[in-house]
Amino acid sequence: MNGKLYGVGLGPGDPSLMTVRAVEVIAEADVVAYHSARHKRSIARSIAERHLRADHIEEPLVYPVTTETTDHPGGYRGAMEDFYAEASARLAAHLDAGRTVAVLAEGDPLFYGSYMHMHKRLADRYDTEVIPGVTSVSAAAARLGAPLVEGEEVLTILPGTLPEEELAARLASTDAAVVMKLGRTFPKVRGAFERSGKLSRARYVERASMSQERVADLADVDAASVPYFSVAVLPSQVDAERPVRGGEVTVVGTGPAGPLWLTPESRGALADADDVVGYTTYLDRVPVRPGQRRHGSDNRVESERAEYALELARRGRRVAVVSGGDPGVFAMATAVLEVASQPEYHGVPVRVLPGVTAANAAAAKAGAPLGHDYATISLSDRLKPWEVIEERLRAAASADLVLALYNPGSRSRTWQVGKARDVLLEYRAPHTPVVVARDVGGPGERVSIVRLGELDPAVVDMRTVLLVGSSLTVAVRRGDGEEIVWTPRRYPEV
Ligand code: SAH
């Protein structure tokens, strides 16, 4: 009978953090295998050392390379591939001979561990069991003695080998984080914490639970001293003292709907704010952070809302002003900057963060109607006279631009769409495709494609955006029955 394969998690370093089951399995095993770098002691073996016996067959699996330089024809990947094939064949020979094999793994075997390469090659052929272990994440958090994540907080685990930009974006949009695989990656990881504005709360744990353990504030760590066995930790922010940074206003766009279209930067700015100000509908889309104050209002009083936000910021609060979509498209950014241009608010820092605007989201749902030049026009005559709107519709239509029409109508504004259609029909054929997109990305999403000649004003409401094609825009029915719309990037004459 074949032997059994075990992947044995040994915990973070302190042998007393091995599980009872890990000890049992090692006691039962005929063969004890462990990975190590060339010329280096195996950390896994040293954790389990007191449980190893003279009659254990030891099977060291020595990596041919640990950095990405090798003369293997297949490069680093090729060298590793050969190594895993050879190592798993050696373990398979023991298993075929009926010997029980325990592959030792520091921490948890399936958590960034070397064991999994053996597992993937052997588990479908041999009876296999994985013994979970305490990870360095838990060990580091325990050492810091502070909550890691609480309630609905999100913990993000990141390998420090990711590009700095990616790390910064992930850090900006999470509540708590652990960055693994430090060492040479440290300067980049530190840079990412700094860029995400979270460096002041970041901690550092080196060799958690091992003999040379060290705990520090990440900002104080000398990059030259950082070993691979160390982690950066951003603990829970629930009771965290907020760094004193002075007041500011950040104008944030939540995207058309839902968390999928909220950028990491915007998510981070919302979490970071002391106060969130906005139209109640948009505020409801913002995840609640304990301790944050919310100031909802109705859709109309934009300048008062802007003034209120700037006033809070002037008194030292960090304020996020929320708009749907992109905050610069028929939304709060202008109102805030208008008020901020008054002398009494000159000193208050204001930032605008971009968001996915409704036209772009709607276009993507329908295909690519905005693939060529287009104009964006609001049909609301609340803030500009209808004559101006009509003039712009004519100008854009005669220039053969695709049109994105925002604010096409509401319960009280019902005639504008019909009027706009009639104006456009003076320039465009009745069969011109029109995308009618309602609540894109939200629970009430409805995207339909109609013809300009048949555009019925009753189909629009406050949550609708219209995309009207140019003379070149086409609607095509695909094999699956779906109709898609696109505008070519090339004019026929070119
Ligand atoms: N700043 C927003 C636009 C605010 S004006 C943005 O960039 O999208 C409000 C208009 O935006 C609505 O009348 C509608 O035309 C459009 N809109 C906003 N969200 C939408 C969505 N999810 N689906 C369709 N249209 C939307």
Residue 25: CATH number of its domain: 3.40.1010.10
Give residue 31's pLDDT.
Answer: 98
Q: Which amino acid does the sequence have at 162?
A: L
| Claim to verify: residue 180 and residue 112 sit in the same structural domain | no
Whether the per-residue pLDDT at 369 is higher than 90: the answer is yes
Give residue 387's pLDDT.
Answer: 97
Q: Which amino acid does the sequence have at 235?
A: P
Mutate to test the pocket of ligand 1, among 459, 463, 468 (most ligand atoms within 8 A of CB): 463
Mutate to test the pocket of ligand 1, among 365, 459, 465 (most ligand atoms within 8 A of CB): 465
- Number of other residues whose CB lies within 10 A of the CB of residue 409: 23
| Claim to verify: residue 87 and residue 161 sit in the same structural domain | no
Token pair recorded at residue 71: 């003369």
Q: Which of 493, 449, 491, 494 is nearest to 469 (CA)?
A: 449
470 or 37: whose pLDDT is higher? 470
- Ligand 1 contact, 366 CB (< 6 A): no
Give residue 299's pLDDT.
Answer: 65
Ligand 1 atom closest to the Cα of residue 331 is: 1
Give residue 291's pLDDT.
Answer: 80
- Number of other residues whose CB lies within 10 A of the CB of residue 112: 16
| Claim to verify: residue 338 and residue 364 sit in the same structural domain | no
| Claim to verify: residue 218 and residue 301 sit in the same structural domain | no
For the chain, what is the mean pLDDT? 94
Whether the per-residue pLDDT at 243 is higher than 70: the answer is no
- CA–centroid distance, 233 to ligand 1, in Å, is 39
The boundaries of the domain holding residue 277 are: 248-353
Mutate to test the pocket of ligand 1, among 251, 279, 330, 447 (most ligand atoms within 8 A of CB): 330
Ligand 1 atom closest to the Cα of residue 357 is: 7
- CA–centroid distance, 426 to ligand 1, in Å, is 27
- Report yes or no on 239 lying in a domain: no
| Claim to verify: residue 198 and residue 309 sit in the same structural domain | no
Of how many residues is the chain composed?
494
- Report yes or no on 262 lying in a domain: yes
Give residue 75's pLDDT.
Answer: 83
Number of compact structural domains in the chain: 4
- CA–centroid distance, 345 to ligand 1, in Å, is 29
Q: How far is CA 239 from CA 78, 100, 102, 149, 150, in A?
A: 48, 49, 43, 11, 10
pLDDT tens sequence across 99-115 = 999 999 999 999 999 99
pLDDT tens sequence across 82-92 = 999 999 999 99
Rounded Cα–Cα distance for residues 232 and 186 (Å): 9
Confidence band for 39, pLDDT divided at 50, 70 and 90: confident
- Report yes or no on 70 lying in a domain: yes
- Report yes or no on 243 lying in a domain: no
- Report yes or no on 82 lying in a domain: yes
- Report yes or no on 493 lying in a domain: no
Determine phi and psi for 398, rounding to 5 degrees. -70, -20
Q: Is 0.85 topped by the overall pTM? A: no
Confidence band for 337, pLDDT divided at 50, 70 and 90: very high
Rounded Cα–Cα distance for residues 305 and 321 (Å): 8
| Claim to verify: residue 12 and residue 119 sit in the same structural domain | yes
Using only C-alpha atoms, what is the Rg of the chain? 30
Rounded Cα–Cα distance for residues 177 and 199 (Å): 12
pLDDT tens sequence across 101-159 = 999 999 999 999 999 999 999 999 999 999 999 999 999 999 999 999 999 899 999 99
| Claim to verify: residue 123 and residue 19 sit in the same structural domain | yes
* Boundary of a domain, candidates 325, 353, 381: 353
- Report yes or no on 491 lying in a domain: no
Give residue 281's pLDDT.
Answer: 81
Give residue 70's pLDDT.
Answer: 73
Rounded Cα–Cα distance for residues 329 and 217 (Å): 41
Ligand 1, atom 13: closest residue by C-alpha: 407
Residue 432: CATH number of its domain: 3.30.950.10
Rounded Cα–Cα distance for residues 456 and 56 (Å): 81
Q: Would you say the C-alpha torsion 6, 7, 11, 13 has a positive or negative sign?
A: positive
- Ligand 1 contact, 364 CB (< 6 A): no
The mean pLDDT of 150-176, rounded to a whole number, is 95
| Claim to verify: residue 222 and residue 257 sit in the same structural domain | no
pLDDT tens sequence across 206-234 = 999 998 999 999 999 999 999 999 999 99
* Boundary of a domain, candidates 133, 151, 185: 133
Ligand 1 atom closest to the Cα of residue 466 is: 15
- Ligand 1 contact, 198 CB (< 6 A): no
In the chain, the percentage of residues whose pLDDT exceeds 90 is 84
- Ligand 1 contact, 420 CB (< 6 A): no
289 or 444: whose pLDDT is higher? 444
Give residue 64's pLDDT.
Answer: 86
Inter-axis angle of helices 264-272 and 164-172, to 10 degrees?
A: 40
Helices (H), 105-217: 115-122, 136-144, 164-172, 186-195
Give residue 203's pLDDT.
Answer: 98
Confidence band for 68, pLDDT divided at 50, 70 and 90: low
The mean pLDDT of 288-307, rounded to a whole number, is 83
| Claim to verify: residue 21 and residue 106 sit in the same structural domain | yes
Whether the per-residue pLDDT at 183 is higher than 90: the answer is yes
- Ligand 1 contact, 416 CB (< 6 A): no
- Ligand 1 contact, 465 CB (< 6 A): yes
In the chain, the percentage of residues whose pLDDT exceeds 70 is 98
Confidence band for 301, pLDDT divided at 50, 70 and 90: confident
Q: Are strands 374-378 and 402-406 parallel, antiparallel or unpaired?
A: parallel
| Claim to verify: residue 262 and residue 225 sit in the same structural domain | no
pLDDT tens sequence across 285-295 = 777 777 889 99
| Claim to verify: residue 286 and residue 181 sit in the same structural domain | no
- CA–centroid distance, 247 to ligand 1, in Å, is 29
| Claim to verify: residue 345 and residue 416 sit in the same structural domain | no
Q: Which of 452, 464, 467, 299 is nearest to 376 (CA)?
A: 467
Q: Which of 10, 79, 71, 87 is nearest to 45 (CA)?
A: 10
Give residue 9's pLDDT.
Answer: 98
- Number of other residues whose CB lies within 10 A of the CB of residue 484: 18
- Ligand 1 contact, 226 CB (< 6 A): no
- The SS3 of residue 22 is helix
Confidence band for 280, pLDDT divided at 50, 70 and 90: confident
Give residue 437's pLDDT.
Answer: 98
Rounded Cα–Cα distance for residues 23 and 52 (Å): 10
Give residue 81's pLDDT.
Answer: 93
- Report yes or no on 240 lying in a domain: no
**Cβ atoms of 223 and 262 closer than 8 Å:** no
* Boundary of a domain, candidates 133, 153, 174: 133
- Ligand 1 contact, 406 CB (< 6 A): yes
Q: Would you say the C-alpha torsion 313, 318, 324, 329 has a positive or negative sign?
A: positive
- Ligand 1 contact, 357 CB (< 6 A): yes
- Residue keyed to tokens 């979970």: 132
